[in-house]
Amino acid sequence: MAGNLTTGRAEDLPANANGKSADNNSIVVCFGELLIDFVPTVGGVSLAEAPAFKKAPGGAPANVAVGVARLGGSSAFIGKVGDDEFGHMLADILKQNNVDNSGMRFDHSARTALAFVTLKADGEREFLFFRHPSADMRLHESELDINLIKQAKIFHYGSISLIEEPCKSAHLAAMNIAKRAGSILSYDPNLRLPLWPSSEAARTGIMSIWDQADLIKVSEDEIKFLTGGDDPYDDNVVMKKLFHPNLKLLVVTEGSEGCRYYTKVFKGRVPGIKVKPVDTTGAGDAFVSGLLSSLASDLKLFEDEERLREALNFANACGALTVTQRGAIPAMPMKKAVIDALTKFAAS
């Protein structure tokens, strides 16, 4: 699940040894939440029925940062955790995975966020969050590492950081800094309805920054939610309600079935890679990391359909491999494993 999780203090990290990869020209900077997931030691039970829980590092933007680094790319994470054992453990996990964690901040009064998550027997995920408030919600605009944001070739974020102030203002400021610096803005809404005050607040909040993104990844369920129940498989729904004039690429993930893609010029579908799932946690984040790692080294993907399809096939394989292991960060695949899986799949 969570592998060998060792704790470490931020002050122990050498100034330039925060996991920076050599190629900073193609760095993917991920902004948002980093937390501890507690997952049952057995599958197919509700949270109340779970006999025990195991801790695993989590938080979608952090998962993506680790995923990019595992694939040989350069990545960084910006966000806030508590000045507590869990917060320092998470900072150390990013460092161990070659993610630049110099943009992390530590809150002295709020704790690192906790989430209890389980996949019930009926296939539905159940969440219970402890963030009242948690440190990630308390990141201030003044705490942003502006130089790190300006380096981003791709600036990636979700919507959870839009729920509460002061983090919301910090998020909007970081997006503006990245946009002005010429970064590609990448958005995965990653809907977590229990964290929002209401469904309407979630819909409004998620859509409030929709037209600023260059790249958006959504799931079928998120399309249904954001459009008020429209058919997520209808291309007309997607293009009329979710595609916007500044968008370079919209990707709709369909789990094991693969994904669909939409640009101003072309659209299509890339089938998924069939595996036996063990835990679907982090699959979407692994998909995003696969796509962003390809995009960071080749921005022409937006215009070349053949190269885009190759990148999406690679991203599908990243997602597929992740569900064959428990946990999110521990399951993020290395580049060789993805290439081997694609070779095996092509030969079958």
Residue of 92, 100, 188, 285 marked active site:
285
Give Cα separations from 153 to 74, 94, 238, 294 (angstroms): 10, 20, 27, 12
**Distance, CA of 327 to CA of 348 (rounded, Å):** 28
Among this protein's residues, is 37 annotated catalytic?
A: no
Q: Is 249 exposed, middle or buried (0-12, 13-18, 19+ CB in 10 A)?
A: buried
Please answer whether residues 91 and 13 qualify as being in contact, where contact means their C-beta atoms are separated by less than 8 angstroms.
Answer: yes
Q: Which residues contact 180 (CB under 8 A, 6 or more apart)?
A: none
Handedness of CA 117, 160, 338, 5 (dihedral sign): negative
| Residue 348: Cβ within 10 Å count | 7
Q: Where are the alpha helices (DSSP H) in the chain?
A: 60-70, 85-96, 146-151, 167-180, 199-207, 220-226, 235-237, 283-297, 305-322, 335-347
Strand order in the sheet with 267-271: 99-107, 75-82, 28-31, 154-157, 184-187, 215-219, 249-253, 258-262, 267-271
Which tokens sit at 158? 């979700």
Q: What are phi and psi of 317, to 5 degrees?
A: -65, -40
SS3 at position 119: strand
User: First CA to last CA across the chain, in angstroms?
Assistant: 29
Q: Which residues are catalytic?
A: 285
